[in-house]
Homo-oligomer: A and B are copies of this chain.
Amino acid sequence: MEAENLKEILFYSLEKSIKTYRQFAQRQLVENGFNITIDQWLVLKALSDGPHQTQHQIAELVFKDYASVTRIIELLVEKQYLVRTIHANDRRRFNLTLTENAVRLLEAMQPVIEKNRSTALKGINEQHASQFQHILNLIINNCQS
């Protein structure tokens, strides 16, 4: 009974924490004048860190559906943060290149992103954080096997 209740609360809190963090982070972006969603930022950041990835690889990296990545990239092209050109050797693929605009945007956003993380983790030391991390990884592994 007790344990069952604990498990309920655990996933309840897990869901609540990530939602609360996302809402908080998105609100901070808006308040700092950035007109971009967290998910769009994730894709830009992934491309900034590893420029020559396929959309498939990006999707894996950010845990998104391929369809979602396609649509997010469409929006980023519209917003002139990305340029798509056909890949020279493989005509199924695209080269995705960040525009100057995007590079500047990422730089400008970085301090806000870091502040968001610090705020969210206030009062949590490194030892607790790595304990926490460990349990997250256990859950991930348990759900993948």
**Which chain B residues lie closer than 8 Å to A17 at the CB level?**
14, 136-137, 139-140, 143
**Which chain B residues lie closer than 8 Å to A21 at the CB level?**
11, 14, 139, 143
Task: Give the shortest distance, in Å, between A130 (CB) and chain B (any CB).
Answer: 7
Q: Is the CB of B16 within 8 A of A126?
A: no
Chain A 116-145 per-residue mask, 1 if CB under 8 angstroms from chain B, else 0: 011111111010111111011111101110
Closest to A134 in B: B128
Closest to A23 in B: B143
**Which chain B residues lie closer than 8 Å to A122 at the CB level?**
138, 142
Contact of A124 among B118, B119, B133, B138 (CB under 8 A): B138
Check A117/B14 contact, CB under 8 A, given A24-B143, A140-B20, A142-B122.
no
Closest to A13 in B: B136
Q: Is the CB of B126 within 8 A of A142?
A: no
> Is the CB of A88 closer than 8 A to any CB of chain B?
no
Q: Is the CB of B133 within 8 A of A132?
A: no
Q: Is the CB of A132 within 8 A of B130?
A: no
Contact of A63 among B19, B132, B136 (CB under 8 A): B19
A-B contact pairs, 6 of them (CB 8 A): A13-B133, A14-B18, A21-B143, A24-B143, A121-B139, A131-B135
